Amino acid sequence: MALAEAIRIAKEHNLDLVQVTDKVAPPVCKITDYGKYLYQIQKKEKTLKQKGGETKGIRLTFGISDHDLETKVRLTEKFLRKGDRARIEMVLRGRELALQGFAKEKIHKFLEALNKLIPIKVERELKKEFKRLTMIISRK
């Protein structure tokens, strides 16, 4: 459709001619209320942001000290408050592979400390992947 004709039709209906994309030739436009169009775009971006945000990685070690564990808890809390998810990971090397029960206790201790600060939801249970234990958590 010709540009002049599209503008005429938009004015007849008291609407705006909005360019949707300019990546193609000729550019794609539609006749709509510009304020309503902006609102729909903002609403779509907001729902995409709410769905999960980024997944941040938190790496724990087998012999992590209590103080370092508290530091990781505070960092994870900050990520969860921002709306991101957290991927908890503990890499096991050598003899540590035989002591997986101890490693799982460390992770559960981490989760208990985190749950005291902010309510959490486990999106993916603790799972052994090759030589590591991983799980994904988010805010309730």
Q: Domain extents for the chain?
A: 3-50, 55-139
User: Which class for 105: exposed (0-12), middle (13-18), buried (19 or more C-beta within 10 A)?
Assistant: exposed
Domain 3-50 has CATH 3.10.450.40: no
Burial class (CB in 10 A: 0-12, 13-18, 19+), 64: middle
User: Can you give the pLDDT of all 140 residues of the chain as single tens digits?
Assistant: 888 999 999 999 999 999 988 888 888 999 999 999 999 988 888 776 665 578 899 999 999 999 999 999 999 999 999 888 999 999 999 999 999 999 999 999 999 999 999 999 999 999 998 899 999 999 88
The domain defined by 55-139 folds into: Translation Initiation Factor IF3 (3.30.110)
This model's pTM is above 0.75:
no
Rounded to a whole number of angstroms, the CA Rg of the chain reads: 25
Fold agreement (3-50, 55-139): no
